[in-house]
Amino acid sequence: MYRETIHHATGVTEGTASEGHATMLLTTALRREYAVEFTPAGGALITWTRRLFGTGEGSVVRAERSISLEPEMPVGNLSATTRLDLDLIAGDRHARYAEKDGRRVVTGLTWQIPAFTTARLRARGLVVEDGDRLRLSLTARLGLLAQLHRTRTTEPKGWYRPSAGDPYGAAGLNRPGGRAGMLRDGTSAATCACGALSAWGGDRDEARRLTLAHRREVAAAFIAEHLARVEAPGA
* 180 versus 224: smaller Cβ distance to Zn ion: 224
d(CA 72, CA 5) in angstroms, rounded, equals 13
CA-closest candidate to residue 68, choices 8, 7, 21, 140 = 7
CA-closest candidate to residue 149, choices 200, 91, 214 = 214
Least separation, in Å, of the C-beta of 218 and Zn ion? 6
Least separation, in Å, of the C-beta of 147 and Zn ion? 11
* 34 versus 38: smaller Cβ distance to Zn ion: 38
Would you count residue 192 as binding Zn ion (CB under 5 A)? yes
Burial of 25 per CB tally in 10 Å (0-12, 13-18, 19+): buried
Would you count residue 190 as binding Zn ion (CB under 5 A)? no
CA-closest candidate to residue 122, choices 143, 144, 105, 141 = 105
* 137 versus 211: smaller Cβ distance to Zn ion: 211
* 113 versus 192: smaller Cβ distance to Zn ion: 192
* 135 versus 149: smaller Cβ distance to Zn ion: 149
Angle at 66 between CA 60 and CA 72, to 5 degrees: 175
- Helix 19-31 to helix 138-148 angle (10° resolution) is 50
Would you count residue 221 as binding Zn ion (CB under 5 A)? no
Binding mask 147-166 for Zn ion (x = CB under 5 A): --x-----------------
Binding mask 120-149 for Zn ion (x = CB under 5 A): -----------------------------x
d(CA 225, CA 81) in angstroms, rounded, equals 25
- With CB under 5 A as the contact rule, the residue among 52, 63, 194, 221 that binds Zn ion is 194
